Amino acid sequence: MDTVKNVILVVDDDKTNLTLAQNILLPHYRIAAANSGRSALKYLESHRPDLILLDINMPDMDGFEVMERIGQKEETRTIPVIFLTADNLAETEIKCFQMGAMDYVTKPFVPAILLSRVDKTIELDQYRHNLETMVSRQAEKITEDARRISAIQDSVIVGMANLIESRDGSTGKHVKNTQTYVKLIADELHARRLFSEVLTEDYIENLSKAAPLHDVGKIKVSDAILQKPGRLTPEEYETMKLHTTYSGKIIKMILGDLEDKDYVKIAEDIAMYHHERWDGTGYPVGLAGEDIPLSARIMAVADVFDALYEERVYKPPIRPIERIMQIMSEGRGTQFDPVIIDVFMEMLPALKQLLGIG
């Protein structure tokens, strides 16, 4: 077990809040304190903490401006930040995540919540760092004539899937299921010689390997939203929708330097666009029809099927499977690519066999 404690920089102009945060965290971490945004930036010129707890409402320079300055420097931009605020408005929460924060904590602090958020954020950041190191080290060993990038792809996919599982108990099963469904759909389309100009064997292999990364951006969505048992509010839904953009950025950060650009492009397309709709009413961009990458159109069908078939924290599973197919068929030409959904409807016997349904 490590004996060296992680360092947390707490930035707050309120002395009482600084003292309270120190009292909560000191048994577990080393604490550096700053009572203004400028003093925090001065500290960061010569130190690199493992986490920054950053108050939003401060005189002279607020937390958002400090965050922007942190993001402008190579040596500080990857330090995870948790915003501190007494403002519980949805607009503030959304802006926190848009600015790049890993999480936010409302004041007055609840000790157990503050400590839990700090522990989880540091753990996730350490995992990210380890994953980047692993990718970097393995990428150096891979040559053009070697195994290309299959080993590193598998390692990254498993790592990302495990990372998601740590946030949402249902998601771990979801990423495995959707990978299976994506491969099944792609193989069937290939067998029927559909989309043959794109859907090659190499494309299907990359598509299958990239599928588990489609929701990796959910690591930046708060537990309160991910694990909410009921319907999301409009504001919460807007925050949830950001996971597509987060996913694209994370994949570019982790995989962007790999030589297999086709794989990276498919992974980005799946992550960014699997919530786009055929009729153009999806997100995050509002692409329509064949402007939506084929990989994302296939992923959309697999994703929705598993979401309906499996239990979620906010809903029971739908049964029988024929009812799911009926629901999905109603999205033909609006939510789903008509060609792909038509083929999927004809795959009912194969799906039943896969799922062990008599």
- CATH number for the domain spanning 94: value is 3.40.50.2300
pTM given for the model:
0.58
**Residues listed for the chain:** 358
Distance CA 228, CA 315 (A): 11
Residue 14 forms part of a structural domain: yes
Q: Is residue 105 helix, strand or coil? A: strand
Residue 138 forms part of a structural domain: no
Confidence at 139, pLDDT banded by 50, 70, 90: low
Asked if the model's pLDDT at residue 170 lies above 80, the reply is no
Model pLDDT for residues 270-327, shown as the tens digit of each residue: 999 999 999 999 999 999 999 999 999 999 999 999 989 988 766 788 899 999 999 9
Residue 95 forms part of a structural domain: yes
Residues 184 and 301 in one domain: yes
Nearest-Å Rg of the Cα atoms of the chain is: 22
- pLDDT of 200 reads 95
Asked if the model's pLDDT at residue 9 lies above 90, the reply is yes
Asked if the model's pLDDT at residue 1 lies above 60, the reply is no
Phi-psi bin for 53: left (phi > 0), alpha (psi -120 to 50), beta? beta
Amino acid at 68: E
Residue 143 forms part of a structural domain: no
User: What's the mean pLDDT in 154-158?
Assistant: 64
- pLDDT of 134 reads 79
Residues 169 and 88 in one domain: no
Residues 158 and 96 in one domain: no
Asked if the model's pLDDT at residue 153 lies above 70, the reply is no
Instruction: Return the axis-axis angle of helices 234-255 and 111-141, rounded to nearest 10°.
Output: 30
